[in-house]
Amino acid sequence: MKRDAQDDIAAPLARWFLWADSPVRVQRVILGLGALCAVLFLFDLFWHRHAYVPGEGLWGFHAIAGFVSFTAIVLGAKSLRTLILRTEDYYAPRAVDTETYPGAGLDRVDARDGPDAAELLSVRDGAVREGGGGRHASAVADVENRP
């Protein structure tokens, strides 16, 4: 965490997503997702779906298919990696993998120096601080409450 020594910054629109930095609120979102899944699963109880494919009409077919295939894909890919992962310079120098992108095609700007720097909010513990302002944010230690 490179910015623990001072308040973090966020663009105005990002305030709606600051929950992603708070483990407590992320937990709440996950519980919400769990509740939604439960509702969708139970929906099959009283809604008769028209099945186009044999077996598709079974209770919870799509829910289970989603969970199982996602898990299988991720774990399958993970084991595939043990076979096919090579170092980044494996094809060098005849590939772009280890090259840095030429600076002429880029415009690397830090948000504090960007055109919208004046609008940046000061953020601490995943919450917007009053009287913020990116460039002039006060230095406040902030270590604890981050994932």
Query: Could you say which residues in the range 30-59 bind other proteins, by CB under 8 A?
Result: 30, 33-34, 36-37, 40-41, 43-44, 47, 49-50, 52-54, 56
Give the integer Cα–Cα distance in Å for 21 and 7. Answer: 13
Counting contacts by CB under 8 A, is residue 5 touching other proteins? no
Shortest reach from residue 126's CB to other proteins, in Å: 10
- Residue 118 corresponds to which tokens in the numbers above? 């004046």
Terminal CA-to-CA distance of the chain, rounded, Å? 10
Considering only residues 56-75, where is the footprint of other proteins by CB under 8 A?
56, 60, 62-75
CB of 35 to other proteins, least distance (A): 10
Q: In angstroms, rounded to a whole number, what is the distance separating the alpha carbons of residues 54 and 79? A: 32
Cα 146 from Cα 140, distance rounded (Å): 14
Q: Does 140 interact with other proteins (rule: CB under 8 A)?
A: no
Amino acid letter for position 120? L
Of 45, 46, 115, 139, the one binding other proteins (CB under 8 A) is 115
Residue with token string 């305030």:
15
Cβ distance to other proteins smaller for residue 115 or 131: 115
| Among positions 24, 46, 93, 143, the unique one binding other proteins when judged by CB under 8 A | 93
CB 142 within 8 Å of CB 124: yes
